[in-house]
Amino acid sequence: MFHARLFAETEKYRQTHFQASKATPTSPDPTPTEPGELFLDGNPAIDRPLFVQFCANDPRWLLEAARKVAPYCDAVDLNLGCPQGIARKGHYGSFLQEDQDLIFRLIRTLRDGLDVPVTAKIRILDTREATLAYARNVLDAGASILTVHGRRREQRATSPA
């Protein structure tokens, strides 16, 4: 999971965490328009299917980050399931589940701005009805695939799903 804002604005963060291409003599500074030689992440010979997952709380940063990976991947995923303290502090992951409008805008922005499919991972809510409404919101926003983690935000991996 990449932090969308950091990925969008920090070259070092991208180079450290996502290695889609490497420089060649004809392309010393790889970019999506002149990718250089395909490298580890995004190389269809060794890394397919490839979904790149982001955490985000701002549609603009999310789209900017996703556009940097879209030429190298098969889909972009929004992580709406992370329950960790860092996600609480940064207001992303499962800590967005109370803001269904923002979730809709995040996914719709990706769907409208990318040529690759958009997917999302969510956690279950307190009731079946609330979880189904949440899932419907994500799908209505434009997610092609929805992954549902079978635990609520406050549950850890040690409790049954």
Residues designated catalytic: 82
CA distance 131 to 122: 9
| Angle between the N-to-C axes of helices 100-113 and 128-141, in degrees from 0 to 180, rounded to the nearest 10 | 30
Asked if 126 and 152 touch (Cβ cutoff 8 Å), the reply is: yes
Written as one letter, the residue type at 65 is A
Asked if 72 and 50 touch (Cβ cutoff 8 Å), the reply is: yes
Asked if 141 and 114 touch (Cβ cutoff 8 Å), the reply is: no
